Amino acid sequence: MRKLTVSLIAALAAAGCTLAPKYDRPAAPVPQTFPSGAAYRADAAAPKTAKAAADIGWREFFTDARLQQLIELTLANNRDLRVAALNVQAARAQYRIQRADLLPTLSATASESVQSVPPYLNSPRLPIPSVIRQDNAGVGFTAYELDLFGRIRSLNHEKLEQYFGYEETRRSSQISLVAEVADGYLTLLADQELLRITEETLKSDNDSYTLTQRMLESGQATELDLRQAESAVDTARASLAQFTRQIAQDLNALQLLVGAPLPEGVSNGPPLEQQSFLEELPAGLPSDLLGRRPDILSAEHSLRAANANIGAARAAFFPSVSLTGNFGTASTELSGLFASGSRNWSFSPAISLPIFAGGANVANLDLAKVQKNVQVAQYEKSIQTAFREVADALAARGTLQQQIEAQRALVASSGASYRLSEMRFHSGVDAYLTVLDSQRTLYSAQQGLVSVELTRLQNLVGLYKALGGGWKEADSRVARVAADGR
């Protein structure tokens, strides 16, 4: 027994190694710096000492109190995020199940067997059947595999990396959700601004229609002028219905994201031009994304899991040693089960050496290697996607402010042109068609300004998301909600 114990300890110590290949992180298949040029000159002025986006909490980035409330409600009630958090808990449980295979499973057993033996089978022969009774009680383990070549340990590493991957996926879902709520809120504000512009345009069109009708009665305008004024009113009414519908749909979309009734006053937020987000977000280097972006980290954990799976596939080529043992008591009578001299024990080691499997082990190893190559490609693709998202956001940040300034100038000039055309029409110099054309230009310019302002703010949200920001200040909240199952 002493030699056996020493052998078991040595075998367990040797089980710490695996046959998995050494993991080397693939090189990032992107340039070492983000693009530069005319579109990125605003980024060059960004302060070098500013805090990284991944270290900026969403409360620090989004300053609108209504938006902060929406995000907080979303993180507590959104069902997709809740499912992502529960998936993390499920992956953790699967890892614990796999880890349990590293240790023997001890079980306490008790059994009784009664057997009637025919006379001709008795030795010596008896004239009547004999009854054989046996009672057993003990503690033991069955088919415990010694992990000499790291098969179980490799599977354990695979489950652990999958668990880490699910955790990063949850963070990525949370970042995307925060950005989606911000985009939905900004879209609501933009549609409300468009509705206000349309209401002002409709009021102006109604006033022009009434004035044109009076001018027609006095002979200063034609029937065509009146019909053109009427068409402008109808066009504005159609746009008013459109934006009214869009606002209702924006609220419905926000409520789905939040997962709960919207708070009162969510529609009374400040206009887009008064929204301000933290713009000092230095991009850093593309290599920084490897530790900031949860989707990249999740892809790397999947790659590590595939690497560990190769170790399990390699171990299938080597012998498998399993142990079965039991220690207890045995007696022919229940009353004597724990009597002196009833001790009973058994120990049954077994070894299995693969000789012929029809190529299954080779195929499993080839499959594990192919799956790792797939994960390498997906990991590299996630890096390239992150690089493109950040570069696009930086290009937009460098040019959108200039576009807004140009659009504001266009609105101002279009407004002056519209006022002049109205004066000329009222003076009888031009037909109403000139007024109508000027008004359409002004209305289009105003809509364009709202659209560009919305794009600029959404781009800042996108840059914040692309740099890995948006998960701090909420991880504990999400985990607590998932644990409560609310």
Q: Is the confidence at residue 343, as pLDDT, over 60?
A: yes
Res. 7: pLDDT tops 70: no
**Mean pLDDT on 414-422:** 92
**Residue 161 and residue 300 in contact, taking contact as beta carbons nearer than 8 Å:** no
Work out the pLDDT band at 482, boundaries 50, 70, 90: very low
- Identify the band that residue 117 occupies on the pLDDT scale cut at 50, 70 and 90: low
Burial of 219 (0-12, 13-18, 19+ CB in 10 A): exposed
Structure tokens at 103: 């240790």
- Give the per-residue pLDDT at 6: 47
196-200 average pLDDT score: 94
Q: What is the pLDDT of residues 74-111, one digit of tens each?
A: 999 999 999 999 999 999 999 998 888 888 888 888 88
pLDDT tens, residue by residue, 222-233: 888 889 889 999
Model pLDDT, residue 44: 45
Which burial class, exposed, middle or buried, applies to 141 when counting CB atoms under 10 A from its CB (0-12, 13-18, 19+)?
middle
Per-residue pLDDT at 272: 84
Q: Percent of the chain beyond pLDDT 70? A: 88
| Amino acid 425: pLDDT | 85
**pLDDT(163) > 80:** yes
pLDDT at 132: 72
**What's residue 379's pLDDT?**
96
Q: Is 431 within 8 Å of 425 (Cβ atoms)? A: yes
Name the band, by pLDDT with cuts 50, 70 and 90, for residue 445: very high
- 130-146 and 320-331 strand pairing: antiparallel
Confidence of residue 268 (pLDDT cuts 50, 70, 90): confident
**Average pLDDT of the residues in 4-26:** 66
Q: How many CB atoms lie within 10 A of CB 380?
A: 18
Question: What does the pLDDT read at residue 127?
Answer: 64
Residue 430 confidence (pLDDT) above 90: no
- Give residue 470's region: left, alpha or beta (phi > 0; psi -120 to 50): left
How many other C-beta atoms are found inside a 10 Å radius of the C-beta of residue 463?
24
448-480 tens-digit pLDDT: 999 999 999 999 999 999 999 877 655 545 445
**What value does the mean pLDDT of the chain take?**
86
What pLDDT does residue 123 have? Answer: 63
- The residue behind tokens 């009973």 is 344
Tell me which residue of 421, 441, 419 sits closest to 430, measured CA to CA. 421
From residue 484, give the alpha-carbon distance in Å to each of 174, 471, 478.
18, 20, 10
Poorest-pLDDT segment among 241-250, 268-277, 399-408:
268-277
Contact 154, 462 (CB under 8 A): no
pLDDT band at 402 (very low <50, low <70, confident <90, very high): very high
Q: What's the pTM?
A: 0.83
183, amino acid identity: D
Provide the pLDDT for residue 78: 93
At residue 373, the pLDDT reads 96
> What local confidence, expressed as pLDDT, does residue 329 receive?
87
pLDDT of 4 above 60: no
Identify the pLDDT of residue 45: 45
| Residue 48 clears pLDDT 70, i.e. is over it | no
Range from 11-20, 32-41, 459-468 that averages highest in pLDDT: 459-468
pLDDT band at 13 (very low <50, low <70, confident <90, very high): very low
Write a three-state SS string for the chain. Answer: CHHHHHHHHHHHHHCCCCCCCCCCCCCCCCCCCCCCCHHHHHHHCCCCCCCCHHHCCHHHHECCHHHHHHHHHHHHHCHHHHHHHHHHHHHHHHHHHHHHHHCCCCEEEEEEEEEEECHHHCCCCCCCCEEEEEEEEEEEEEEEEECCCCHHHHHHHHHHHHHHHHHHHHHHHHHHHHHHHHHHHHHHHHHHHHHHHHHHHHHHHHHHHHHHHHHHHCCCCCHHHHHHHHHHHHHHHHHHHHHHHHHHHHHHHHHHHHCCCCCCCHHHCCCHHHCCECCCCCCCCHHHHHHHCHHHHHHHHHHHHHHHHHHHHHHCCCCEEEEEEEEEEEECCHHHCCCCCCEEEEEEEEEECCCCCCCHHHHHHHHHHHHHHHHHHHHHHHHHHHHHHHHHHHHHHHHHHHHHHHHHHHHHHHHHHHHHHHHHHHCCCCCHHHHHHHHHHHHHHHHHHHHHHHHHHHHHHHHHHHCCCCCCCCHHHHHHHHHHCC
> Which residues neighbour 385 within 8 Å (Cβ) at sequence distance 6 or greater?
none
pLDDT band (50, 70, 90) for residue 444: very high
pLDDT higher for 63 or 300? 300
What is the structure's pLDDT at 126? 58
By the 8 A CB rule, do 157 and 308 touch? yes
Chain centroid to CA 259: how far?
17
